[in-house]
Amino acid sequence: MSRQRVLSGVQPTGILHIGNYLGALRNWRGMVDDYDTFFCVVDMHAITVPEAVDPARLREAIRSVAAIYIAAGIDPDKATIFVQSDVPAHAELAWILTCMAPMGWLKRMTQFKVKGGDNEGVGTGLLTYPVLQAADILLYDADLVPVGADQKQHIELTRDLAERFNHRFGDVFHLPKPMIPKQGARIMGLDDPEAKMSKSTAVERPGHAIGLLDTPKQVKKKINRAKTDSGTCTIYEDASPGIRNLLGMFAAFTGEDPAEIGKRYDGRGYGYLKADLIAAAEAELAPLRARYEELRGDESVLDAILERGAERANAQANVVLARAKQAMGLGR
Ligand code: TYM
C-alpha cells in the first residue's frame, strides 16, 4: 500500500514562534518516515495585506521559514520542502475553487472576521485566502494536515469545497483530515494569556512570544517576565490562564501531562516552574538555532533543496490540477 500523504504550511510573515513549533513544525518532523510529506512555505498567503508587503523582507522571510523547517528537524531528503509560488497550480486551482465557494462560507471564517473583514476597503484576498489554502491541500491528495487548533475551520472548509466539487463534477478530490496535537495546539501569548500567540503580535510586542531564533538570554527573560498571578497555585484546573499556558508549553516540550507537571510545582513559587520550563525550551531550541545558522551560512544548500522540492511538488500538483480541469471541461 502506498503511504498516506501529508501537507502543511507556514506563512512567511512576522516572527516564527514556539506556538508554530509546538502546534505544527515539531509534529511534521515525526511524520517524514511514515508518510509522504509535503511542507510548503505559503508565500502567496503572505500578500493578502498588500500594505504590509515589503519585497526585500518577504524574499528573506521565505528563505528563513524554509531554513527553519529544516532546522526544526524536517529531513529534506525525506520530505518535499517547497515554496508555494514556485508551483503555479496553487493559484490556478485556487481560482477554480473560488468559483465554487459561496461568499457566505468565506465570510463566516473566524480569521476573516478577526482581521477586519467588515471593512469595505480590505483586500479581496483576505476573504478568499482559505480557498487558496484548500487548493494547497487538495493538489497533493493529502490525507492529513498537521496544524494548530486555529486552522481547524480552514480544513473543514477545504473538505466542504472538495465535496461540493466532487458532487458536481465527479470524484476528483481526496478529502483531508486535520491532525491537531494533544498538547501545544493553542499556545497563548506570554504577555497576554487570553490571546493566541501570534507572529504579527510578536513583531509589535517583544514580550509576547518566544521566537524560534531568540537567543538563550531572550528566552530566559521572556519566560521570567511571562504574565502569571500573585499566588503559587500550579494545579492545572485551578491555575490562572498564564500558569496554565506555561504548563501547556512545558507539557508540549517534554511530552508529559500538564496536570502532572502542575502537581510538582504547586505551592513552591512560580520561579521553579519557570526555571525548568526555560531549560526544557532551551533543550529544543539550541539545536534548532545551531542548524539554522549552519544552513544560512551556505545559501546554495537551501537553493538546491527548494529547487528539488519545487520539481517534486509541481509534478504532483499538476496531476491533480489536470484531473480537476478535465472533470470541469476546461481547456482544449
Ligand atoms: P500560520 O502561518 O498562521 O501558522 C503556521 C502553523 O502554526 C500553527 N500555530 C499555532 N499553533 C499553536 N499555538 C499557536 N499560538 C499557533 N499559532 C499558529 C498554525 O495552526 C499552523 O499550523 N493558513 C495557514 C497556513 C496555510 C496552511 C496551508 C496550513 C496555508 N496553506 C495548507 C496547512 C495546510 C496559516 O496562516 O498558518
Q: What is the DSSP string of 239-301?
A: S-HHHHHHHHHHHHHH---HHHHHHHHTTS-HHHHHHHHHHHHHHHHHHHHHHHHHHHT-HHH
Q: Crossing angle for the helix pair 270-296 and 299-328, nearest 10 degrees?
A: 90
pLDDT for 115 beyond 90: no
pLDDT score at 122: 86
Q: For ligand 1, atom 19, name the residue with the nearest CA.
A: 148
**Which residues lie across from 37 on neighbouring strands?**
6
| Cα(163) to centroid(ligand 1), Å | 23
Q: Is the distance from CB of 46 to CB of 13 less than 8 angstroms?
A: yes
Which tens digits make up the pLDDT trace of 136-149?
999 999 999 999 99
From the CA of 11, how far away is ligand 1's center (Å)?
Answer: 7
The arithmetic mean of pLDDT across residues 123-134, rounded, is 95
From the alpha carbon of 148, which atom of ligand 1 is closest?
20
Distance 136 CA to ligand 1 centre (A): 13
Helix 89-98 to helix 124-138 angle (10° resolution) is: 110
CA 202 to each of CA 10, 178, 182, 228, 301: distance values in angstroms, whole numbers, following the listed order: 15, 26, 24, 19, 29
**Where is average pLDDT lowest: 113-117, 194-198, 261-265?**
113-117
pLDDT over 90 at 158, yes or no? yes
Residues above pLDDT 90, as percent of the chain: 94
* CB of 226 shorter than 6 A to ligand 1: no
Decide whether any atom of ligand 1 lies within 6 Å of the 150 Cβ: yes
What pLDDT is attached to residue 264?
A: 96
C-alpha cell at 212: 524560534
Q: pLDDT tens, 184-197?
A: 999 999 999 999 99
Q: Known catalytic residue: 182?
A: no
Residue 164 has a CB neighbour count (10 Å cut-off) of 16
Average pLDDT for 20-41: 98
* pLDDT confidence bin for 123, thresholds 50/70/90: confident
- Evaluate: CB of 44 within 6 angstroms of ligand 1: no
Any ligand 1 atom below 6 A from CB of 13: no
Which member of 152, 196, 221, 325 is catalytic?
Answer: 196
Atom of ligand 1 nearest to the CA of 154: 23
Distance 9 CA to ligand 1 centre (A): 7
Under 8 Å CB-to-CB from 287, ≥6 apart: which residues? none
Whether the pLDDT of residue 221 is over 90: the answer is yes
| pLDDT digits 0-9 by tens, 268-323 | 999 999 999 999 999 999 999 999 999 999 999 999 999 999 999 999 999 999 99
Residue 2 has pLDDT above 90, yes or no: no
The domains located in the chain, with CATH, are 5-181+299-328 (3.40.50.620), 199-293 (1.10.240.10)
Residue 136 is predicted with a pLDDT of: 98
**Cell 508540549 sits at which residue?**
252
Q: Is the pLDDT of residue 1 over 80?
A: no
Counting from 1 in the atom list of ligand 1, the atom nearest the Cα of 11 is 2
pLDDT at 104 over 70: yes
Best residue for ligand 1 mutational test, from 58, 80, 151 (most atoms within 8 Å of Cβ): 151
Nearest to 285 by CA among 225, 206, 201, 211: 211
pLDDT at residue 297, rounded to an integer: 95
Q: Which of 78, 113, 115, 217 is catalytic?
A: 115
The number of beta carbons lying within 10 Å of the beta carbon of residue 230 is 6
Cβ contacts of 107-115, under 8 Å, gap ≥ 24: 109/153, 109/154, 109/157, 110/150, 110/153, 111/150, 111/153, 111/154, 115/49
323: left (phi over 0), alpha (psi -120 to 50) or beta: alpha
Mean pLDDT of 56-65: 97
Q: Which DSSP symbol is given to 163?
A: H
* Contacts (Cβ under 8 Å, ≥6 apart) of 130: 106, 109, 111, 112, 154, 157, 158
**222 an active-site residue?**
no
Instruction: Say yes or no: CB of residue 311 within 6 Å of ligand 1.
Output: no
pLDDT of 121 over the 90 cut? no
Annotated catalytic residue 115: yes
What pLDDT does 133 receive?
98
Among 102-111, 159-168, 185-194, the least confident range:
102-111
CA-nearest residue for atom 36, ligand 1, is: 11
The residues, any chain, with a CB within 8 Å of residue 256's CB and separated by 6 or more, are 250
pLDDT band for position 111 (cuts 50, 70, 90)? confident
Task: Quote the DSSP letter at residue 24.
Answer: I
